[in-house]
Structure 1
């Protein structure tokens, strides 16, 4: 710097090592070493201005150096003006001017300090724009311009300085967009703060490349976002404080996710203005106090997640106005009192109702039964007492029930064995008496009754003591009845014996007539098998031969008298409502259809057992490889709290199975005189034989229709609720009793997506984040498909040609096209068969 004077006011000197990292030492020692470094960089000092700079002399007495007593002998000024110095400004001298009253604009002169490493001008009252000349400071590692009144855009060249570890311009009035390649421009950045400005646009995906980032702040004013914004998610971050009140300006929101943060305080903003909101996720925060009454204004709400907060007290009465609510989760809060009546007035909750871990007391209310289509009810870990109310029997769609860790008493109701439960937890209560042995109680992995010391019986795997006359059912009989009961019993026995034979004969005659009138004619094409034959074939319908159970019956493996024919015997549970109707429906359907991929019916048995009770069974050809459900999900194991999603099906096997199933649907819908709707397409109803050929079974909900139409056909069904399995039932079935071939196409689409992703329709994150398997897959199309496919397929096609990976993309696109919300938008089943066959041909081409 020949013939130039230097003056730096209000300076703080820094000492750097060879890596330009600040060295910690005492303040005056730091200043002394920094000044000596400055002296060493000067090549020529013609006037001897630096002669006084002697290491053995106090630097505050050096010529041109001014120290301030207020700063304990720190250097506050270096004045070398007009001394004719020649050389370089040492990098050990740095600008630290924060928290001063400089005002004005940033001087363009700063741009001449080409070797400057740190520039701090925070909270100095500066205005105007950031000078363009700062882009010349290519050695900058820190820039801090926080808390000023700077305007305009950040010079683009500043984003190209790759040496930054700290870049902070928080709390100004800066505008513009954040560059898309910011993450690549700042690879060493540890601290990036652009918050509290007026930036617009999208957050750059390249930020994921800045792997050294420790602190990032990009906050804008949420209220300034577009009122047309429909989806806002800031979940799974470390956001703290309270919800900004101006979020109420986003009146177009249909989905709001603020889960998994550190937000606290009352939920106080005006929810009532977000009238289009359908999904609200506030779970896993620190919200406290009562829920706002404005929640009741959100009549379109489908899903509310408020679990894992500190909400206490009663819920607002207005919540009952949420007449479209499907899911409500208030678990892990402090409701303390009984189950709020305001919640129980919402009869539309059909997916999930969770009040676990909320300190509830009192009885389980009867009016829970108003949610007739509810699938998932969790009330565990409370202080509920009394008996399990019989009214829960009306929850015919219930699949998961958890009443564990309460104070419930009395017997286990028999109706629980009639529900379609796949998971039942009654553990750690005070239940008494005999455990049922039907329905869900036949599966040890699906039921838990641990911690109920007065239970007995049940299947052997439960390892409960056998029931005796004393512990199977406790009887509390008044003294007077102890005398009357034996007398009345004797009279009843005599009367019963006198008429039993007559009634038995009449009943057998009537049953013979009924059989002839209701039994479909199969023209002698089946084996003739009696109750005794089936009893022998299944070893007395033993539990060891049980291979499956459903709502209307149980399926047993059997071997006929010839010692070679393996069969699957479906025994109807005639005490269950709808079982006889299911039997007739299946017979009527299978009487008129023939297809290689239909489960082959070998015989029908309609008779009486050895006690004179009605007995009905369907006998099928045994499928050695079990159900598609088993092949897809049998290896899902809990490891560290996570499901291990694996299967044993290759890509080509899945394609073959998918084509087999689609071929059956095409035949049912278009290949007979009448259109036949299966009505319950799901993995457990697809059976696989020795060579993995798929066979569609279980026609208990099938409908034979008189005509085929691309529009909704009329149907005079008498059902008052959804028929089928939740997750595979099309949305239109929830609003009408009309069924159609397009409904089967929807179920097939969901089934196809499940086959190739190995994700169940009931997986929590699918419901929570995407409201369905089809939306989950659709959000990954077309670029993120490899992130959601079954890991087995991923390993199979890894490294293969792009064409094979495109096959995967095409299959999932078909699944989404089949499961469109509107029936008329769904792909035709004939087109599905043709497209899948083309995909299979392409996939088999040599690499």
Structure 2
């Protein structure tokens, strides 16, 4: 009756596991049932891995002779009945890998004194760990994670002297690791990873648990250092997992003596200093992960420890990226185990070239050599890595051609060779890589046409980056094969011709960048089917025609740039066109209408009849005459502007337009090496600016950290966020994101992440004489004129073309920043003010006086007299 009641709780039995549970057979012969010989009573219930769906009937507690319950790997839901505590003969309880909820029965300890194994992991259990479990005298294995358990780890667990395996990972446990656990002298496993534990690891854990084989506390909030003697006090360690905490200090040399060590995971901490040279002496290492720390001293011998890893014949993973390792790329890497599948050494100060024998690592699945000082060519032996799925070699100084035999790596899903000095053409052999999801070849010196075999690679579904090269010709019609592609970037090349109509097939496209080419024709009709588009940048081309109203209905479109083309006619007003900060149409002289914030002329109303025609004719003649005069008057500065504009390089952050990146204090702390003084590039009224490398976008950024102890700093932060979040112009410093959080000490923290300007401020160029290799103070007339035009363009945009006009209020040379091409960008909007547009009334000469704002003791020449007739200052 108890078993049939259990069966009644099952709502789905896809494998027919309970088909034999009927009255035609004795219950001892039912599938999954074992009975004792003496009393013919049920002793084992084993239905593991049967894909059963349903709830657990409380009637199971009537099987009083039950010793083992195996119900793992099913889909049971509901709660575990407290009645299960009546099974006083129970020794083994495994209900893991289900969807059970509720709390852990607290009365398991009342009668189940023989319980040896409890496994309730991989469920959705809530509540606290019952203290009563500490009274089970024979319990040697306790698996309670992952679940949704809360509270702290009961110190009373230290009373379970028989405990060998303790698995509490993947919960929401808080507070510290109890020192009492060290009293369980025979513990072999302590797994506490992925919780919210804080504090330090008790020293007694390191000193008293000599049988410990697995110590896993990764992904918590722990801090402290490792004891120098850890390798001697824990000689049986096989798994040491400390990743993503806040540990500091050096890696103890004594770890080299742990011959049993198989997995060393220390990533995402703040470890520093050298790595022990003989770390691989034990030969058993499988996974070696030291990434995202501060290891290395930037010296030539930093990577000497890799030689010892060549002894580890079963090494599967070597990841040391994002540290401070220096020296030459070690040739010994090519001698590592052929079992190696994952190798990542990027984001270090490594130089030299990639060893030609890299092809020896024939089982590699992922290879990351990025953001280093590596030079030379890509070895042709790379083509031997036919198991490679992800290859990242971007942001180095690699040169030469892309090896043709790279097409032999047919398992590739991601290939990044961007931001190097690669030359030649795209090898047609890449068409063999029919599993490619993302391809980045941007920011190189590649030439020729874009091969139709590559741009037609239908597997590309994430991103195709070809920007910043010298590609010529037209965009192949095979682009229409990219039906699943989300991002296409062909900007800043020398492409020409009309956009193929087949682009309309790419209806999964979310971002499309075509700026800075010579495309022509009436293009907007191609995009009627791209309803998922979020970012569309067609600027700096020769496109023509009218702006179709159907773009108003694109509900996902967040940013549209049609500037510097030949579009004409009326600008729509709905959808994205209703937000002046989300569109740009400047440089199209024949556009009219649109929302008032665009400051475009009103569209002419065509009158009927001859009088209307005659009137239109007179208007055309007058306009034509005016245009001729303007062309004559403006040809010289316009020529200078266009010559300079044609030489501009694409922004490395262009791909971030329209996105909102979220960063934490910890990420900014790592990006700036702990806000190191070595990365300090400037100070201001309310804080300091640091140079850093933000890992997720892999670009150099400027991090402006507010000193919140200063009066007005918080207000300045809010003002700058409000000003920068809705404006976009090529002569404004771009904001990438902001961070409002708390630091490691629990203090408020606010910072802005901005585009990095390599040439610093205009102040330094005007008043300093020497800065490293740059001879400052030597701006000739043309450079000064260009900078003045840039600043004027930015101010004109702020005053006339924003949704709400903005007054900078602190415009001065130290707030003008110069990029690598000496283009000027206006920054520091901490004192910016917003002004609603006010239609001028009665008196044009009416003015008002406002208090001067800006840097104390500084008024830029020409600013002491302000024309208050301008609408921005009319208040």
TM-score by length of 2: 0.33
Structure of greater Rg: 1
TM-score by length of 1: 0.34
Q: Whose helix proportion is higher, 1 or 2? A: 1
